A and B are shown apart, each in its own frame.
Chain A
Amino acid sequence: MSPAIQPGDWLLVDPTVTRWPRRGSVVVFREPDSELLAIKRVAAGPGDRVDLDAGHLILGDDEAWLLSDAPLAELVEQGAGTPIDSRRYGPVPVDLLVGRAWFRYWPAGRLGLIRRR
């Protein structure tokens, strides 16, 4: 999630969200397969169309497509495999949503709102 989120950042997460925040928001959620608490960006929300290599899918009304910020080209160059985001585990249902990360309060030099992209 670099550069938006760096290791060691301290974040405020709004846990009151009950529906997927708007596209571009950074969200905290439980990963479908591993139940790990993860943080990604909402790339597409309920009802949106996601284009895949071999076609497309239309998200259900409680699903979101969550992606890491790292550009695919950069990951490929580093020798990374498939990114661990919706490209690996598919759409994420809203019952796995934990909250919206909206503010970084540490380190002080990067204090501020986490902006939608």
Chain B
Amino acid sequence: MFRLSRILAPSTTVHAHCDLPCGVYDPEQARIEAESCYKIIEKMGANSDPTFTTRAIHIKEERADLAKHALDVLWHDYFKPEHLEKVPNLHELFWNATKQVSKVKASTNLEDARQLLAMIDEIDAAWKATGGEEKTRVNGRPS
């Protein structure tokens, strides 16, 4: 019987994936990358070694891109039209935050990075206000 099933079983698998969201969305991802940028700028201010500066700039660009990507995913995939009722300035929040990421990429000013963290905190508040934590984290956000 088992042999028969092995003969009859298909040899190829097809994927019907209608979508592949893991469904986990947390502004924390963006915040960690933004904090990385903050720390890099801070360290750059204390170290003028050219090799260090070159490496720091390179890594800041990378982390900033990741912050931007995390923000994009939140905006496109987590937030829904009905959330605009709770957060009417949602699109503006994201527009400003992603523009701030670009600023932080080019900047050696700690204040720019601090601003970015503040903007991400606002997005975090919007995520919490729309039930993000309960709906998308496996056991809530780890404390």
Contact = CB atoms under 8 A, between A and B. Distances in A.
Asked if A and B are interacting partners, one says yes
Interface of A: 1-2, 5, 7, 10-11, 28, 36-40, 68-70, 75-76, 78-85, 101, 105-106
A10 B10 contact: yes
Nearest to B78: A79
User: Closest 9 A-B residue pairs measured CB to CB?
Assistant: A68-B18, A81-B77, A80-B19, A1-B16, A70-B18, A39-B14, A79-B23, A37-B14, A80-B21
Contacts of B15: 36-39
A11 B78 CA distance: 35
Contact of B19 (A7, A75, A101, A106): A75
Given A79-B21, A81-B76, A38 B136 contact: no
Contacts, number: 62
Main secondary structure of the interface of A (DSSP, over half): loop
Nearest to A98: B14
B24 to A, nearest CB: 9
Interface of B is mostly: loop
A84 B14 contact: no
Interface in B2-22: 8-10, 12-21
B141 interface: no
B135 interface: yes
A11 B10 contact: yes
Contacts of A105: 8
User: Which of B13, B21, B135 has the most CB atoms of chain A within a 10 A radius of its CB?
Assistant: B21
